[in-house]
Amino acid sequence: MTDPAAVERTLDPSMSDLQVGTPREFLTIPQGWIELTGAPDVDLLRVPVSAAVKPTSNMAAGPVVFGTADAVQTHVGLAGRSVDQEGFLSVVAPFNLAAESGIVDDGPDVDPSLLAADIKAVGTSQWFYDEDSPYVGFGIETHGPWATLGASNSIVIEVETPQGPYDVVVQKYDDGIDSYDLTLVLVFDENGRNTGLEFINDVPATIDTNSYDSAAAVLPVSLESLGFSEEQISAGDVSFDYSVSGTSWLADGGIYDTVPDLSFEWNTGLGFGDLDSALFASLPETSIAVTRLANLTSGAPSGQTKKDPAGPSGVTTQERVETTPSGERILFLHLHNAVGKQGQIVDVQNTVAQVPGDQLFVDVPKNNQFFADITWLANQGITTGWELPNGDVEFRPLSPIGRDAMAAFLYRMADPEGYEAPAESPFIDVATTNQFYTEISWAFEQGITTGWETPAGLEFRPVANINRDAIAAFLYRYAEVEGYVAAPVSPFTDVTPATQFYTEISWLAENQITTGWLNPDGTSRFEPLSPVARDAMAAFLYRLNQNVLS
C-alpha cells in the first residue's frame, strides 16, 4: 500500500471485534505478499507479509488570544494536515498545563520502555457529560512511546482529596485468567475498593484514538469516583492535590519517574468547547472555544465552530495589535500526530489596545466618548477620514454611515489578500465603477450582505444609511457565528424574539459589542431602526475585535 490516505481501519477477520462484550482495541494490519523470482527450479516464490500501519496527522493549535485580561472567551484555531478517512479521525485534547518535566536519562543506552514511563507534561481539564456527571481529565505526555499502555508501561496518579487518598491507574482489563485488548482508567480508594472505571482517552475502542505506539493519553475521572458529594460539587468545593508517575517493568520498584506536588481546583483555569467533552475533532479551519471558568456566564461556551475567523493565522488586522502573556498555558495533545509531535504547549495572550495619546482627528478630542475606539480604527487603517484644505483631518463622528462605507470598513478590517471583484456586479444599483464596488462585492460573496430582491433585480442600496439592527446582522455574519442560540428573553425592551434580527442583536449584546441605552427603570433599549453614527460604528468594530475576533 503506497497511499496512506487509502488505509481503512479494519480488524483482522480471524479476531473477534468484541472482548467481554466491549469493542476491543486493535491495529490495522494489511496483509499481502512479496514475489521473488530467479531461484533455481522455482518460477515464482510468494512470501506472505503483514505490517501494522496507521495514518498520522500533523495538526497544531494556533495562538490563544483574549481581547482583554477580563475577557471571558476566545477561540483557538486548528491547522495542518488532519486524518479523516475510513475509520480514522484525528482528535485533540486541550488541558490547563499543570507541569513540565525534563527527561530522567537522555543517555544512548536508556531502554525505550523507560522513556515511555518518563513524564514530559501534565495537564487537567473539566467537563460535564450531563448536569449530574462532572469529570476531571488528566492529560499525560511522555518522553517516549509505549507499545501498549496498561501492561509493561502504565500511568499512576495519586490523588489526595478531603475524603482521603485515591489511586488512578491505567490497566488492561484482566478477569484473572486472561488480559484483554481493553485499556481502562481505574480508580481505587485507600481500602483498595474500585470506585471508578473509564475508557482510556475517554471513548470506547469503536473510535480510534491511537492508543498503541503513542506517547500521549487522556485519563478521565469522575468526581464521584474521588468521593466528592453532590453538595460539594454544587458548591464548587472541589479541590485536591496529586502526583503523576510513569511505571515500567524495567524500573526499580516499578516507578521510573514522578511529578509531585500538583493541585487542581474546580472552576478555575480554562474550559474548552461546550464543557461536555475531553476530545475534539482536529480538522483544519476549525476552532475550539476557550473560556475562563472563573468568569463563566451562562451561554458563554460555543463549542467547536467551522472556519472561525480567529484561526491559527488570526485576522490580518490582529497582526498590528500588541499582545502580552496572561500567565495561562494550554497543553494540547494531538493524539494522532506522530510521536514527538503530539504535545504542544501554547502560552495564552491578552491583547493590549494600541491607542496612541495623540489626537488624530480635529473633531474627535481626547474627551470624546469614543476617542479610543475611533483612534484604534484609524490606527488599523480601517478609516482615513476627510482631509481639509488646511491639512487637518475630520472623522465626522456624528454623521450616519452608509451601507457602502460599512462594506468598506469590514473589507479593510478583514484585509482579504488577493481578492478580485467579479466582472459583473451582483447588484443592479452598484456599478463596477462604484467607489466601493470591490468592497461591496466581497461583502456579498462572504454572505455578510444579502441585499433586497426587487422585480428589477437584486439591490444593495449603497447610499442608504445602515440601521443598528442591520449592523448587528453584518457583524454576526462577518464573525461567521455558528450554533448560537439566542435566549428566550430579550436583553432589550424594544427588541422581541419576533424582531427580524433578534438572534444577531442578542449575540451582539451577549458579547458586549453593544450596551444599548439605559431606560429610567433600569432596563435597556437597543433602538434597532435608528441609523448608526460613525462614532458608534467605530465602537462596534473595536469591541468586535477585542471581544470576539481576538
What is the model's pLDDT at position 487? 92
Band the pLDDT of 548: cuts 50, 70, 90.
confident
Report the pLDDT averaged over residues 253-278: 94
The rounded distance, in Å, linking the Cα atoms of 397 and 404 is 17
Report the pLDDT averaged over residues 443-463: 94
What is the model's pLDDT at position 298? 44
Report the pLDDT averaged over residues 403-418: 91
Q: Residues with Cβ < 8 Å from 314, sequence gap 6 or more?
A: 62, 63, 65, 77
Compute CA 166 distance to the chain's CA centroid, rounded to the nearest angstrom.
31
And the C-alpha cell for 408?
A: 468598506
Pair 91, 282: CB distance under 8 Å: yes
Pair 95, 220: CB distance under 8 Å: no
Answer whether residue 170 shows pLDDT above 70. Answer: yes
Report the pLDDT averaged over residues 109-128: 94
User: Worst-scoring range by mean pLDDT, 2-11, 208-217, 273-282, 493-502?
Assistant: 2-11
Band the pLDDT of 376: cuts 50, 70, 90.
confident
What is the model's pLDDT at position 357? 60
Top pLDDT among 264 and 14 is at 264
Top pLDDT among 394 and 49 is at 394
Answer whether residue 164 shows pLDDT above 60. Answer: yes
Compute CA 269 distance to the chain's CA centroid, rounded to the nearest angstrom.
15
Q: What is the rounded (10 degree) CA torsion for 330, 111, 167, 185? A: 70
Report the pLDDT averaged over residues 76-97: 91
Answer whether residue 508 shows pLDDT above 90. Answer: yes
Band the pLDDT of 297: cuts 50, 70, 90.
very low
Residue 195, number of CB atoms within 10 A of its CB: 16
What is the model's pLDDT at position 309? 33
Answer whether residue 356 shows pLDDT above 90. Answer: no
Report the pLDDT averaged over residues 447-465: 94
- In the chain, what percentage of residues exceed pLDDT 90? 61
Answer whether residue 116 shows pLDDT above 90. Answer: yes
The rounded distance, in Å, linking the Cα atoms of 302 and 280 is 13
Per-residue pLDDT reduced to its tens digit, 305-324: 433 333 323 323 333 456 78
- ∠ CA 215-220-223 to the nearest 5 degrees? 150
Based on its alpha-carbon atoms, the radius of gyration of the chain, rounded to whole angstroms, reads: 29
DSSP letter at 269? Answer: S
What is the model's pLDDT at position 307? 35
What is the model's pLDDT at position 463? 94
Which residues on neighbouring strands pair with residue 164, listed in sequence order? 161
What is the model's pLDDT at position 242? 98
